Amino acid sequence: MASRSRVTVQVNDTFQKGYEYELSAPIGEVKSERFQPHLSPPEMLLMGVFEGKYCNDCQAEFPSEWFEKAKLSKVSDPNVNYFGVKSRQSLGIWRQRGWIIDPDPRGWFQWYCRYFLGRRLIAIDELQIKRWRAFARHAGQVRANCEPANVFCRPRQRQALLQWAYDPLI
């Protein structure tokens, strides 16, 4: 597919000041042989992820329509999540375990939002896609342990799947 003319995004939020990146791929062009997310970032935000608080101070970086119907909260609120459960570890734990990969200090979802917009950083993209592929094991566990029609089975795992752009209603 044709690339688009280069657009530079400037980021100035709590986590990053003066960070810039270029968009070189068309928005939404994310699927490849190795990376097939089921949900887009706006779909995830609409369904309810990260207790509604993930993007509070970084909305200016992303298209405003992503947030028009997004489930957001000023404080972390598990009830905002699609499955109404807490299903995340703190950013401190993510840092401690080496799961935060520069230049995305908020983690995988921030990388995915930027990738969805069209940012391409080959080495970072490969690492994050590898992490996304490894997360698929949770879908297998849900399928192996839940009746197909029981969407209330393993709600934390389903919420985690949603937060990694997998269909949680598998």
pLDDT of residue 148: 83
| 107 is a domain residue | yes
pLDDT tens per residue across span 17-37: 999 999 999 999 999 999 999
pTM: 0.93
| 56 is a domain residue | yes
pLDDT tens per residue across span 53-71: 888 899 999 999 999 999 9
Q: Is the peptide bond before 103 cis (omega within 30 degrees of 0)?
A: yes
| 61 is a domain residue | yes
CA angle centred on 125, ends 87 and 100, rounded to 5°: 45
Tokens found for residue 88: 């995340």
| 127 is a domain residue | yes
| 169 is a domain residue | no
| 170 is a domain residue | no
Annotate 109-123 with b (16+ C-beta within 10 A) or e (fewer): bbbbbbbbbbbebee
Counted domains in the chain: 1
